[in-house]
Amino acid sequence: MEKKLEQFHNQKYINFETYKKDGSPVRTPVWFVIDNDLLYVITKEHTGKVKRLKNNQNVRIVSCSFQGEPKNEWVKGMAQLITDESANKIIKLRKKKYGFAARLIGLFTSQKGNFVVYSIQLTE
């Protein structure tokens, strides 16, 4: 699995594919961090991603450009909501990685609720 994770090192964005109830995919370029061989996505609690992940934790990810253009091969994974104190650690890692931009985005998305953290365990 470490080899699959290598494509994400030194990257700024992943294209994060989640699934609607009817199975159709929704792709969203997002920021991410890696910690202890797991990839983490931080989003706000009232986003479409969170709604879709409540119904289906299967995801696909790929390193991508800002616009979402894939740079590598898609990798399957399983998302899990992180609810313990490690979520705060991951949020701090994101602030460190993305700096001022992360703080700015937090201001513009405040109406979408609190931050939630998902770990992505690669499955293929």
What secondary structure, in 3-state letters, does 42-60 show? EEECCCHHHHHHHHCCEEE
**Residue 89 confidence class, pLDDT cut points 50, 70, 90:** very high
**What domains are there in the chain, each with its CATH number?**
2-122 (2.30.110.10)
**pLDDT given for residue 119 in this prediction:** 96
pLDDT bin (cut points 50, 70, 90) of residue 114 is confident
- The pLDDT value recorded for residue 110 is 57
pLDDT in tens, 63-83: 999 999 999 999 999 999 998
| pLDDT for res 4 | 80
